[in-house]
Amino acid sequence: MKITSVQNDRVKYWNSLKEKKNRDRDRRFLVEGDHLINEAKKQNLIVETISMVDETADYYVTKEIMEKISGQKSISYNAAVVRFIPEDSITGKTIILDNIQDPANLGVIIRSCIAFGFNNIVLSDTSVDLYNPKVIRATEGMIFHINVLRRNLKEFIPILKNLGYKIVGTDVLSGEDVRNIKIDDMAIVMGNEGQGLSDDVKKMCDQFVYIKMNKTCESLNVAVAASILMYEVSHE
Amino acid sequence: MKITSVQNDRVKYWNSLKEKKNRDRDRRFLVEGDHLINEAKKQNLIVETISMVDETADYYVTKEIMEKISGQKSISYNAAVVRFIPEDSITGKTIILDNIQDPANLGVIIRSCIAFGFNNIVLSDTSVDLYNPKVIRATEGMIFHINVLRRNLKEFIPILKNLGYKIVGTDVLSGEDVRNIKIDDMAIVMGNEGQGLSDDVKKMCDQFVYIKMNKTCESLNVAVAASILMYEVSHE
């Protein structure tokens, strides 16, 4: 179907998916660019395709429409409405994110999870939305390869412990060098960009690790720290 | 001095420092927040202080003025005009950044450099500006602890080689696992977010390394990759 008016209801709907409440209501989100569309297609999650260059797309639209629905400065020629990625049960290596706020950090962590064999992310219900367009972009398509559960951590960490997971937090003062530890079935917890781990979550940790570094630098970026920990743990 | 009008010439000047050409002309930039101001003070780089809460600052201004000159959503109470950080000669571990574009990536790499004992960054003249406010924020104050040179890499890499540096690039196909290498006086080169290393720079590399990872993930975020390489090299 051809659409030429930015006032069209379908265009308004696509544009509404920029907001979390609308994405959550329909359990759908918008992806832009061929790479993400192809990854979504592989997982059978495409609802409808939108294009300004391909007349065979479900909706063939103008550049102005693409500009309206896009969250990027340089727009893509193609986009798609995609269903939320279904949750899976938790097996294998897991990372827990306690109140991560920066969308690029979450996206980068997702990318590193795939690189280092982490299958699951447990995202605190206080964290940035998984389907935030900036998160999706930063994952470089890897969002479709990981199992993400959004949960209340105080309630869910005990469930992980029952599954046999050791909860491993980061602590520069009381921890062990991550290079020297070896734990099977661990779930690494990373805290908020400014405040680190919340007290409630800290209390639930079974062990603490640190990344050896220069004292001038108070802390690493959280996506860097998470990636180094996952990298170390993947070397067994 | 008290300023209450957003039309004041001083306010216009501060606001003009959001643009690279104006920063370069005066070799000055604006920092926001006590942490960055304190770090700049330690290096004797402060030109003038601006505050909406402290009457003893060089300029005591209104909230509206602070909002105008700030690049952040939630403004700081204090800001300062700061001189460009003077260049130093190159000794010790060095990272070369070939056409890095994302300001957060550059900021995060600077933070990791300090963490892992890298003293110098050689930034290609095609890269994002060091004094871009988003870079500065992402460094978390670490910008004042590193020696950054902005250079034409084709001209400068030969100079590094003459200083005795081995140029180490990243290449997933032909490289060696970074875990297994040990090179003194190395300069690690990281490429652009989308395209990787430019051909010219690639030709100048003495050796290639890779980070062992899952093949599903085509590549890591450049700040994560740089950080893991520096982390590995710091373990000697």
- Phi and psi at residue B58, to the nearest 5°: -60, -40
Whether chain B has a CB inside 8 Å of the CB on A117: the answer is yes
Verify whether the Cβ–Cβ distance B235 to A224 is below 8 Å. Answer: no
Distance CA A190, CA A170 (A): 7
For the cut 80, the answer to whether the pLDDT of residue B235 exceeds it is: no
Q: How many percent of chain A have pLDDT more than 90? A: 84
Same domain for B113 and B220, yes or no, is yes
Does residue A124 form part of some domain?
yes
Domain count, chain A: 2
Distance CA B108, CA B137 (A): 9
Same domain for B65 and B110, yes or no, is no
Q: DSSP letter for B85, please.
A: P
- Interface probe, candidates B42, B227, B233, chain A, greatest A C-beta count within 10 A: B227
Same domain for B79 and B49, yes or no, is yes
Could you tell me which residue, A194 or A65, shows the higher pLDDT?
Answer: A65
The pTM for the full model equals 0.93
Same domain for B78 and B167, yes or no, is no
Does residue A130 form part of some domain?
yes
Does residue B89 form part of some domain?
no
Same domain for A211 and A120, yes or no, is yes
pLDDT tens per residue, range A173-183: 778 899 888 87
pLDDT reported for residue A218:
81
Same domain for B110 and B194, yes or no, is yes
Q: Are strands A46-51 and A78-83 parallel, antiparallel or unpaired?
A: antiparallel
- Surface of A (179-208) touching B: CB under 8 A: 179
pLDDT tens per residue, range A6-15: 999 999 999 9
Whether chain B has a CB inside 8 Å of the CB on A224: the answer is yes
Verify whether the Cβ–Cβ distance B228 to A228 is below 8 Å. Answer: yes
CA distances from A62 to A8, A66, A77, A79, A80 (A): 12, 6, 10, 12, 15
Could you tell me which residue, B88 or A216, shows the higher pLDDT?
Answer: B88
For the cut 90, the answer to whether the pLDDT of residue B182 exceeds it is: no
Same domain for A79 and A98, yes or no, is no
Does residue A88 form part of some domain?
no
Q: How many percent of chain A have pLDDT more than 70? A: 99
ipTM computed for the complex:
0.92
For the cut 90, the answer to whether the pLDDT of residue A234 exceeds it is: no
Q: What is the torsion angle, in degrees rounded to the nearest 10, for the CA atoms of residue B191, residue B196, residue B201 and residue B204? A: 100
Chain Cα centroid distance, residue B151: 14
pLDDT tens per residue, range B4-32: 999 999 999 999 999 999 999 999 999 99
Same domain for B25 and B74, yes or no, is yes
pLDDT reported for residue A184:
78
Whether chain B has a CB inside 8 Å of the CB on A227: the answer is yes
Say which CATH number the domain at B117 has: 3.40.1280.10
Instruction: Nearest chain B residue to A145 by CA: give it.
Output: B216
For the cut 70, the answer to whether the pLDDT of residue B236 exceeds it is: no
Distance CA A146, CA A143 (A): 6
Same domain for A71 and A115, yes or no, is no
Same domain for B34 and B148, yes or no, is no
Whether chain A has a CB inside 8 Å of the CB on B211: the answer is yes
pLDDT reported for residue B215:
85
For the cut 70, the answer to whether the pLDDT of residue A224 exceeds it is: yes
pLDDT tens per residue, range B133-152: 999 999 988 999 999 999 99
Q: DSSP letter for A206, please.
A: S
Does residue A89 form part of some domain?
no
pLDDT reported for residue A236:
62
Domain termination residue (choose one: A83, A105, A138): A83
For the cut 80, the answer to whether the pLDDT of residue A42 exceeds it is: yes
- Interface probe, candidates A73, A110, A211, A228, chain B, greatest B C-beta count within 10 A: A228
Same domain for A140 and A101, yes or no, is yes
Please tell me the distance in Å from A221's CA to the nearest CA on chain B: 6
Whether chain A has a CB inside 8 Å of the CB on B218: the answer is yes
Does residue B197 form part of some domain?
yes
pLDDT tens per residue, range B89-136: 999 999 999 999 999 999 999 999 999 999 999 999 999 999 999 999
Distance CA A110, CA A39 (A): 15
HSE of B61, CA atoms in CB hemisphere, 13 A: 29
Does residue B68 form part of some domain?
yes
Whether chain A has a CB inside 8 Å of the CB on B93: the answer is no
Count how many residues are written for chain A: 236
A31: helix, strand or coil: strand
Amino acid symbol at A144: F
Say which CATH number the domain at B7 has: 3.30.1330.30
B144: helix, strand or coil: helix
Same domain for B194 and B99, yes or no, is yes
Q: What is the torsion angle, in degrees rounded to the nearest 10, for the CA atoms of residue B207, residue B211, residue B213 and residue B216? A: -60
Domain span holding position B160: 94-234
Chain Cα centroid distance, residue A8: 31
